[in-house]
Amino acid sequence: MIHIKRLQEDGADIIALIGEIDASSSIELDLAIAKSVGEGFNKILVDCGSLDYISSAGLGVFMSYIEEFKDRNIKMVLFGMSEKVANTFSILGLNELLEIGKDKAQAKKIVNEL
Amino acid sequence: MRIKAITRLLFTLGFITWLVLVFMDLTVQVSLANNIPPEVPSWLSGLVLNLFILSLFYYYKLKIEKDEVLNFVDLLWRVFATGLVATVASLTLRLIEYLLNDTKLTTHIVFKDLNYMINLGLMISFLIMAYSAWKRLILYQKSKWLLRLWAFFEIGLLISLLYDSFGIQQIEWSYIAFLATLITVALILSGNMKWVAFLNFRQKWTSLLLLLLTVFYLLYIFYTNSTLAEEIDGQSAYFTDYRTNVFVLSLIVFVTMYAMFSFLVILFNLPTTSVFEQKLEEVVNFQRISQSIQTEQSEESVYNILLETSVSSVFADAAWLEINGTTLQKRVFTYKITDKESQDIINHLNSHNIKGVFDQGSEKTKNLSKHLASLKGSRFRSILAFPIYVKGENIGTLALLKELPEGFNKEMTKIVGTFSNQAGISIENFRLMEEALQNERYKEELKIAKMVQKSLLPAVLEQDEDFEIAAFSQSADEVGGDYYDTLRINEHLVSIIIADVSGKGTTAAFHMSQMKGIFHSLSRKDVEPDEFMRQANQALIHCLERGSFISATYFVIDTALKTVRYARAGHCPILYYCSEKKSFEYFKDKGVALGMVRNKSYANFIQAYEFPYRPGDLMVLYTDGITEAKDIKSEEFGYERLLETVKDLHDLPARGVQDHLISKLYEFSGTDNIDDDYTTMIVKFSSTKTPETEHFGKLKDKH
């Protein structure tokens, strides 16, 4: 089960993920990101502070946007990951493909630098 | 056979008792004629008469009541036949009497008595035969109450036999009261005519004829017997007089009454027979619609049955059935009407803005006949439209047409309304069954996919003097995407792969088979692990859909150099036991999963590593199904617990490590039915050989 909250700060869209992302709830994540893009945001911050678990399907969602974002010059930064979730990202090598910040402040900094 | 023997015995007994009765009665007459007091006591002849009656009673009881095959008309036919035989016999006697016209013999009391006795015997057997038959008719649809009344009647008749034989008829009031009671009960019983309703038109006519003749025979025999009895009564003071016999009198009244009642009831039922038959047909039609779900192959059959049954139930001249279906295309089934005619009517009704026929919003059946009056050139003057609902959704309309104006009555509307409802249910059931079948098919397909997936995993793993490999893989109920394999490249090179396809189901199995193809073609070419991954990624980006990826680790074990070269593409880190350091550790290396970077730049994200192996070393490979297995408290098995589990197992052979790990995993999750794919592969480097290699080095980046 995942609960997704969105709020806007300094022109960036912050998507907060609360709960677990498995095969079925990954669709919600996909929709949330797609909606944010659809609304014209080019700075997307994903708050993983309350993300307890992410399955490969959930990782697949992030992965599927990498190229599209690169082409459209949309910046996405993930932040606030627990060690366990961060480990899941790094095992797959996604930490090399995605921008991951420690906290919101750092994430904002990264997104503005990019 | 036993029943047959008993019936024969009873018949013989009846015949003998009758002969005895005749003989006794004649003796009495002869004695009386010669003015000698009769030696036969009056109670004896009464007893013999009772015996005669009882044997006939049981004879017919066995013959009629036990015969299961007899239908109503057969029964009536039997009664009629018995009556015919009795009448013919009686008429023959009359003919003989006529031929011997007024000779001394015919006027003699003994001859008259013999004639009378024969007629009496015929009458009684006819009566008892009819009684048995009527009993069956009356008790055709029995109730508790009816059975009790009948038992009362039969017991009454039995008592009347005793009553008669002891000649108590002198007590006038009891005789009348008894007779009256029996006749009253007989009257009440005669009201049970339910069987008549089950006759069809033809059978009713046959029954009428048979009953009429039966009544005629009865009347003739009563007349013959009563005139004969009167004649004898005038000449003899003492003879077997049935006229005072309560039993015979009750029977006469009962049998005649029931025959006449039946005749009248059938006669008055004749005009309504067609209605009953129609009702019966409706029931049959109704059943047909209900059963069509089990027997018919398609929805079309249900529609056709609905059309046929509706038309035949209300005698419609034509009908059509329009089905909306899921597609926009409407389907029209017609009956005795051309598509053009039906279309004309539809258009006419539409053009007059009449809602109902094809207005799917209308909920109720509508009689739209009045609107037809304005349509010129149509032969139809009545129309009735019914909506058909499946799961509350209107799927179509049934229209019935008649050439007569005002051709449909309320009753017909109700019937067809019920039919269309039932058809709706049938179609709904049909669709549900289709769905169930479809699901079954999917399950079957999944089963096949699972079999295919199983067959993709190797049955035998490559072994070597330097190492042994054990592997275990289990997938969830659905098809999984875990893959492992080994391949010998040459004498001193063996490649190993372990991979996990993201997602589950048939697509995962499909990608797994692609991975197998890639593994078997690339590793044969003896490419380096990083090159393997690059080429694999290049091959996979064209087949993996958006969001799908494959994590894999590819190894080449070189037994000549005693090294392992590998590349890890996002797969779970290797857990390695170094026999020299005597400790386990997870290899911290880099590598992005296959399919994540969909261009040549993937080369930047994959690296090859190399390390020497020593005898006694142990390599534990696994998929995330193991580290992510959860216990009851939703805690994950995790990397630390995995390390703890294998920590003390480094001396076991590969198979031993694997078994221990799996059993620990089951123990942890509390079940051996983990709802995920989980795979482990254990590579154990042989400890028998003496180490030749240099010391275990640090991870060496080739780049």
Q: What is the ipTM of this complex?
A: 0.90
Task: Provide, as residue numbers in chain B, all residues whose Cβ is less than 8 Å from the Cβ of A97.
Answer: 592, 596-597, 605
CA distance A109 to chain B (A): 25
Mean pLDDT, residues B187-209 = 87
Q: What is the pLDDT of residues B137-194, one digit of tens each?
A: 888 888 899 999 999 999 998 888 887 776 655 567 777 888 889 899 999 988 888 8
Least confident residue range of B411-415, B457-461, B484-488: B411-415
Say if the Cβ atoms of A92 and B570 lie within 8 Å: yes
pLDDT at residue B367 in the model: 61
State the Cα–Cα distance between residues B364 and B342, nearest whole angstrom. 21
Per the confidence metrics, is the pTM higher than 0.90? Answer: no
pLDDT exceeds 90 at position A79: yes
Indicate whether B136 pLDDT > 80.
yes
pLDDT at position B691 = 42
In this prediction, residues B129-133 reach a mean pLDDT of 91
Q: State the pLDDT at residue B391.
A: 77
Whether B588 has a pLDDT exceeding 50, the answer reads: yes
Percentage of chain B modeled with pLDDT above 90: 29
So what's the pLDDT on residue B284?
79
Q: What is the reported pLDDT for A100?
A: 92
User: Residues with Cβ < 8 Å from B25, sequence gap 6 or more?
Assistant: B45, B113, B117, B239, B240
Task: Give the closest residue to B175 by CA, choosing from B243, B231, B253.
Answer: B243
| Residue B702 pLDDT class (50, 70, 90 cuts) | very low
Choose among A6, A4, A14: nearest CA to A77: A14
d(CA B312, CA B269): 23
| Residues above pLDDT 70, as percent of chain B | 88
Do residues B593 and A92 touch, judged by C-beta distance below 8 A? yes
Which strands sit side by side in the sheet containing B550-558, from one edge to the other?
Answer: B482-490, B493-501, B550-558, B563-569, B608-612, B700-701
Q: Name every chain A residue with its beta carbon within 8 A of the beta carbon of B549.
A: 56, 59-60, 63, 92
**A93/B593 touch (CB, cutoff 8 Å), yes or no:** yes
Q: Report the SS3 class of residue B467.
A: strand
- Please, which residues have CB within 8 angstroms of residue B553's CB and are 6 or more apart in sequence? B497, B498, B499, B566, B567, B568, B569, B571, B572, B574, B621
Between B538 and B397, where is the model more confident? Answer: B538
Pairing assessment for the beta strands B393-402 and B318-323 based on DSSP bridges: antiparallel
B96 has a pLDDT exceeding 90: no
Angle of helix B246-269 versus helix B172-190 axis, rounded to 10: 20
CA-nearest residue to B574 within chain A is A91
CB pair distance less than 8 Å for B596 and A91: no
Contact in structure between B133 and B64 (CB atoms under 8 Å)? yes
Name the A residues in 80-99 with CB < 8 Å from any B CB: 91-94, 96-97
**The pLDDT value given to residue B363:** 47
Note the pLDDT of residue B12.
92
pLDDT of residue B293: 57
Residue of chain A whose Cα is closest to the Cα of B604: A96
Instruction: State the pLDDT confidence band at B535, using cuts at 50, 70 and 90.
Output: very high
Average pLDDT over chain B, rounded to an integer: 83
Inter-residue contact B403 to B381 (CB < 8 Å): yes
Statement: residue B703 has pLDDT above 50: no
Taking CB atoms and an 8 Å limit, are A63 and B549 in contact across chains? yes
Q: How would residue B66 be classed by pLDDT, with cut points 50, 70 and 90?
A: confident
Helix, coil or strand: residue B91: helix
User: How many beta carbons lie within 10 A of that of residue B554, not counting itself?
Assistant: 29
Distance CA B676, CA B666 (A): 13
DSSP string, B621-675: EE-HHHHT-B-TT--B-HHHHHHHHHTT-TTS-HHHHHHHHHHHHHHHHT-S--S
pLDDT exceeds 60 at position B701: no
Question: Are B121 and B221 within 8 A, CB to CB?
Answer: no
Measured CA to CA, the distance from residue A91 to residue A96 in angstroms comes to 10
Instruction: Report the alpha-carbon distance of residue B607 to residue B570 in Å, rounded.
Output: 11
The predicted structure's pLDDT at residue B338:
82
| pLDDT greater at residue B328 or residue B566 | B566
Q: Which of A31, A63, A88 is most worth mutating to test chain B (most B CB atoms within 10 A of its CB)?
A: A63
| Amino acid found at B306 | L
The whole-number pLDDT of residue B359 equals 44
Partner residue facing A60 (CB), from B548, B591, B592: B548
CA nearest to B240, candidates B85, B121, B159, B122: B121
Name the band, by pLDDT with cuts 50, 70 and 90, for residue B662. Answer: very high
A24 neighbourhood in chain B, CB within 8 Å: none
Neighbours of A76 (CB within 10 A): 25
Paired with A4 in beta bridges are: A17
The chain A residue lying nearest B549, using CA atoms, is A60
Q: Does residue B609 surpass a pLDDT of 60?
A: yes
Residue A104 C-alpha, separation from nearest chain B C-alpha, in angstroms? 26
Q: How confident is the model at residue B247 (pLDDT cuts 50, 70, 90)?
A: confident
